[in-house]
Structure 1
Amino acid sequence: MSPYVLLFNFFFVLSLLGAGHALLTRKQPNSALVWVALCLSLPVVGVLAYVIFGVNRVRRSATRLREEFEQQKTTGYLKPPDHRAHTCLLKELPEELIMLEKIGRAMTGTFPLKGNSIRPLFNGKQAYPAMLDAIKSANESIYLSTFLLDNDPVGRSFVKSLIEAHERGVHVAVLIDGFGLMLSWRSVVRFLRKQGVPAVVFLPLSLFPPQIRLNLRNHRKLLVVDGKVGFTGGMNIGGTRSSKGYRRLTDMHYKLTGPIVSQLQQIFMEDWAYSNGEEHQPLPPAMDHTGNILARVIKDGPDNPDNPLHTSILATISAAKHSVRIMTPYFLPSAELISVLSVAALRGIAVSIVLPVRSNWPFVHWASRNYFKDLLESGVRIFYQPRPFCHTKLLVIDDCYVQFGSANMDPRSLQLNFELNVEVLDMGLANELIAHVDDTVKLSQEVTHREIVNRSLPIRMRDAFFWLFSPYL
């Protein structure tokens, strides 16, 4: 057989393998059709392009990492607690909360925990002192996980308090994301380690051996003190949330007490054991009731094929009866999210989306504007709040459901990174945050349909160009 025939057969089999893989793994028919056609029509270039851009390495890598972690576990403390004792809660729920609770339970496999207290903390001016006070009053343990711990006056105040806690015998563990670590001018990890504080980097980046992952980042932000007090939300730790100047921004964090803290502690333990290969026996969960709030943690990551955060957002919006309020710094919605928002507005639900007037990532701001036309035509209202840049992530449904945490409304958060949100079934907190959103709307500029339609051709081309890269921004 001639070499040309062998080469032809090789390329033919290669194209069939590429087309077959695309046919079996792509979720959207149009995406599968494009890749199949490309592989069959251009056996070399098409298959190469598919291998580079079409294969979902993020989920495959995340799944492999999670499998490795599961094999490392030796103790049972990471198993989800048995919430069967909480089934009586369902009978106590108001009718308007029953459907929303079922959605969260289907996504997480857990019942919500009652007896919690949750206090919103606005900006670093409120959040950082509360977090530092908790660290300074710690007696037994401090678990801190953050995407970014900046080496600035604010970050150094946390480092100082953590070192002091370690020196007085408190068990301290600090987990910082590898990519977030690179965003700080000088790393605080070495300094913490030098002082004896256990500090671990989640999936560190390195050139040798090559470990450069822009995805699979740990975007979760949580602090748990003595197993009794927890903090979570959207805030990293750094001066941009408390100081004046060009880089100033606003954000929200939350102080939590009650049984919900046990779920935050458990998630930290999972991430710590995976990153460090070392398991710590946590303090017994604090089940003392400190309030009347019903809450549950929703964790998500590319290792979870069920996409619990994205699905819960879609489902709760679909279940809304009166209003949907969204506040997010980055808005690159999926086709499904656009559909549920549009349908909600068409059936008379008041849907409001509050975004920053200027983003710290301009290309994300441009790409998001390419989604506005269809939403506005459906009756969704979009507002640009004035500077400083707002980093808050918040979803409020009707006057009874709240979801807050680390996740943005974009593919990076909902598909590529490890995130943590808390869902709350409570009218009191919901109304408090509704007032915050509505006060912000009063200061904001509403985006009109005419404004979007009348963009100049160069602006529309720019926005559409960056929109093409939405899944990766």
Structure 2
Amino acid sequence: MDLHTSGWKTVLSGWVDMISPFWPQIAATISISLAVVVTVHVTQHKRDSRAAAAWTGLVWLVPLLGAILYLLLGVNRIRRRARQLTGGIIDAADGWRVAAEAQPEPKHLQVLSRLVGSLTHLPLTAGNAITPMDAPGALQAMIARIDAATESVYLATYIFGNDAAGKPLSDALARAVTRGVRVRVLIDGVGSLYSLPPVIYRLRRQGVRVERFLHSLAPWRMPYMNLRNHRKFMVVDRQWGFTGGMNIRAGYIQSPPRITDLHVAVEGPVVGQLLRSFAADWYFTCGELLETSYCGAARVGDVQARGISAGPDADFDKRRLTLLASIGSAEHRIRIVTPYFVPDLTLLATLQLAMLKGVQVQVVVPARNNLRLVHWASMHALRWLVDEGAELHLSAAPFDHSKVMSVDQHWVMVGSGNWDARSLRLNFEFDLECYCEALAGQLDRWIDRRIEQGRHMTSADFQQMAPWRRVRNALAHMMEPYL
């Protein structure tokens, strides 16, 4: 055995000695070959020319490492796996439409409703009740609804902390399991690691069925690390729902709070669309089929609503096209509240066109952000928008994680989606579009308070900004395709 091993070592050493003078040429050949292969793949599969250019530049300027990063982060394998499991309709519902679909009251918003209906293949449902809540109120309402559950509780979230917010909710879920309620919890594979130890171990000890979306600690088994399930909703007894931007974290409920957010309680037929979106994600994750029929009343309020379930699988660009359509439909005022505002050039140009036709555009972002790079990039994009006539307001502390858009005091969109490349291209998101003057008025008053308590930033403020800060912001904005 020793002689055999020694022989192999001699042969191997000989090969190394023979090719060692040619290592530079070999390395160059491998690097160039990988760059060419990646470039061909990028040109064939990337619809966004800026993303294609960014990835191409990376693989040529950073040999080998750029190709590895593209393999891990740039290749979208979700579409293929989704079709294997669901026939390609992972995010869409079953495509049903009603014969007499609800129509929004303002005539100019009816085109928007038809367009979003074509994008989602879902009807605009009438008779819903949508109740906005702050994060502490929403958490308490969710716990109360879980404690009253008799049939099922389905919860999906990006972050579920093992902390002062997550523990009471996990205890309520455990009590529901004890009563015989069917409980299913879906946590994003990356979001589940925000709290250590992860709450999944606590939930499993309590008998709660919990799964992690696209999770693996082994890089070679985790080719989806850049594609996250950012959705946040809960459906109880197939008739009550909650959705919005709130994660389950202690920062929302501590005193004083470190984060604020907006969540909504949902009643009415649109809950069926939340339910089907959860069922698709659950089936995608673990293969279990859930009952998706809505069990609530046909009419509990006056809000016309529709779910917009979008992701990087079969629903690419659904949210982005919805935003473009809503901006184009505006005749009077557009209001945007988001923690992360790094839109692409098309969205910026569409907002500019809206302002040119006389539409007032107001953008509210946090004065202090939890992601500095994104905040710097936002400031660069907002500088140009403010120069074109938009109003920029910086909301006061604590950090506001809310995501709300309002158009013409009648249409609103609330949910999990932000105005950045990650939400628009990489994440699985869920938003509600709602047509209701009363609800829009309520949320407009909520935005008014954000504006009153914040600071108005003008073109003069940007001009007075230190030159090095403007350069920093511009450099950060160059990373827009990756943010």
TM-score, scaled to structure 1: 0.89
Judged with a 3 Å threshold, the aligned counterparts in structure 2 of structure 1 residues 292 and 15 are, in CA distance, closer, same or farther, namely closer
Amino acid at match of 1:85: A
Amino acid at match of 1:104: V
Contact 1:86 1:111 in 2 (8 A): no
**1:382-401 correspondence runs (5 A):** 382-401=392-411
Deviation at 1:454?
A: 2.9
1:331 aligns with 2:341: yes
Judged with a 3 Å threshold, the aligned counterparts in structure 2 of structure 1 residues 34 and 244 are, in CA distance, closer, same or farther, namely closer
CA distance in 2, matches of 1:82, 1:288: 17
1:286 aligns with 2:302: no
CA distance in 2, matches of 1:95, 1:66: 38
**1:444-459 correspondence runs (5 A):** 444-459=454-469
CA distance in 1, matches of 2:133, 2:163: 21
CA distance in 1, matches of 2:63, 2:278: 40
Deviations 1:354-398 (A, max 9, x none): 000000111211121111222011101111011010000000000
Judged with a 3 Å threshold, the aligned counterparts in structure 2 of structure 1 residues 66 and 452 are, in CA distance, closer, same or farther, namely same
Secondary structure, aligned partner of 2:304: strand
Amino acid at match of 2:457: V
Residue 80 of structure 1 aligns with which residue? Answer: 94
Residue 309 of structure 1 aligns with which residue? Answer: 319
1:161 aligns with 2:172: yes
Deviation at 1:79?
A: 4.9
Residue 452 of structure 2 aligns with which residue? Answer: 442
CA distance in 2, matches of 1:139, 1:416: 36
Residue 107 of structure 2 aligns with which residue? Answer: 95
Deviation at 1:428?
A: 1.0
Secondary structure, aligned partner of 1:153: coil
**1:179-194 correspondence runs (5 A):** 179-194=190-205
Residue 114 of structure 1 aligns with which residue? Answer: 126
Judged with a 3 Å threshold, the aligned counterparts in structure 2 of structure 1 residues 63 and 27 are, in CA distance, closer, same or farther, namely closer
Residue 370 of structure 1 aligns with which residue? Answer: 380
Amino acid at match of 1:99: V
Amino acid at match of 1:339: A
1:410 aligns with 2:443: no
Judged with a 3 Å threshold, the aligned counterparts in structure 2 of structure 1 residues 138 and 465 are, in CA distance, closer, same or farther, namely same
1:144 aligns with 2:155: yes
Deviation at 1:192?
A: 1.5
Contact 1:146 1:177 in 2 (8 A): yes
Deviation at 1:82?
A: 2.3
CA distance in 1, matches of 2:372, 2:279: 36
Deviations 1:143-199 (A, max 9, x none): 111111111122110011100010011111111111111001221211221222111
Cα RMSD for the two superposed structures: 3.0
Amino acid at match of 1:361: L
Judged with a 3 Å threshold, the aligned counterparts in structure 2 of structure 1 residues 449 and 23 are, in CA distance, closer, same or farther, namely same
CA distance in 2, matches of 1:11, 1:413: 32
Residue 63 of structure 1 aligns with which residue? Answer: 79
Q: Which moved more, 1:252-261 or 1:277-286?
A: 277-286
Contact 2:125 2:304 in 1 (8 A): yes
Amino acid at match of 1:60: N
Judged with a 3 Å threshold, the aligned counterparts in structure 2 of structure 1 residues 430 and 465 are, in CA distance, closer, same or farther, namely same
Deviation at 1:9?
A: 10
CA distance in 2, matches of 1:282, 1:37: 45
Amino acid at match of 2:368: R
Amino acid at match of 1:63: R
Deviation at 1:259?
A: 0.4
Residue 228 of structure 2 aligns with which residue? Answer: 217
Judged with a 3 Å threshold, the aligned counterparts in structure 2 of structure 1 residues 347 and 283 are, in CA distance, closer, same or farther, namely closer
CA distance in 2, matches of 1:105, 1:356: 32
CA distance in 1, matches of 2:35, 2:422: 30
Residue 275 of structure 1 aligns with which residue? Answer: 285
Residue 466 of structure 1 aligns with which residue? Answer: 476
Deviations 1:318-367 (A, max 9, x none): 11000000000111111111111111112211100000000011121112
Deviations 1:215-260 (A, max 9, x none): 2111100110001100000001122111124x61110100011101
Residue 4 of structure 2 aligns with which residue? Answer: none
Contact 2:73 2:223 in 1 (8 A): no
1:260 aligns with 2:274: no
CA distance in 2, matches of 1:50, 1:358: 32
CA distance in 1, matches of 2:382, 2:31: 44
Deviation at 1:207?
A: 2.9
Deviation at 1:453?
A: 2.5
Secondary structure, aligned partner of 1:86: coil
CA distance in 2, matches of 1:135, 1:387: 31
Judged with a 3 Å threshold, the aligned counterparts in structure 2 of structure 1 residues 191 and 319 are, in CA distance, closer, same or farther, namely same
1:135 aligns with 2:146: yes
Q: Which moved more, 1:8-17 or 1:383-392?
A: 8-17
CA distance in 2, matches of 1:198, 1:283: 21
Judged with a 3 Å threshold, the aligned counterparts in structure 2 of structure 1 residues 53 and 175 are, in CA distance, closer, same or farther, namely closer
Contact 2:97 2:121 in 1 (8 A): no
Deviations 1:422-473 (A, max 9, x none): 0001111011111111121112111111221232222122212222222222
Deviation at 1:106?
A: 2.2
Q: Which moved more, 1:338-347 or 1:228-237?
A: 338-347
Contact 2:334 2:408 in 1 (8 A): yes
Deviations 1:254-305 (A, max 9, x none): 0011101111011111111111121123455435211121100001111135
CA distance in 2, matches of 1:391, 1:130: 19
Residue 181 of structure 2 aligns with which residue? Answer: 170
1:344 aligns with 2:344: no
Contact 2:93 2:122 in 1 (8 A): no
Q: Any unmatched runs of 5+ in structure 2?
A: 1-18
Judged with a 3 Å threshold, the aligned counterparts in structure 2 of structure 1 residues 400 and 195 are, in CA distance, closer, same or farther, namely same
Greater Rg, structure 1 or structure 2?
2
What is the aligned residue count? 460
Secondary structure, aligned partner of 2:431: strand
Contact 1:367 1:467 in 2 (8 A): yes
CA distance in 2, matches of 1:206, 1:197: 22
1:199 to 205, 210, 215: 210
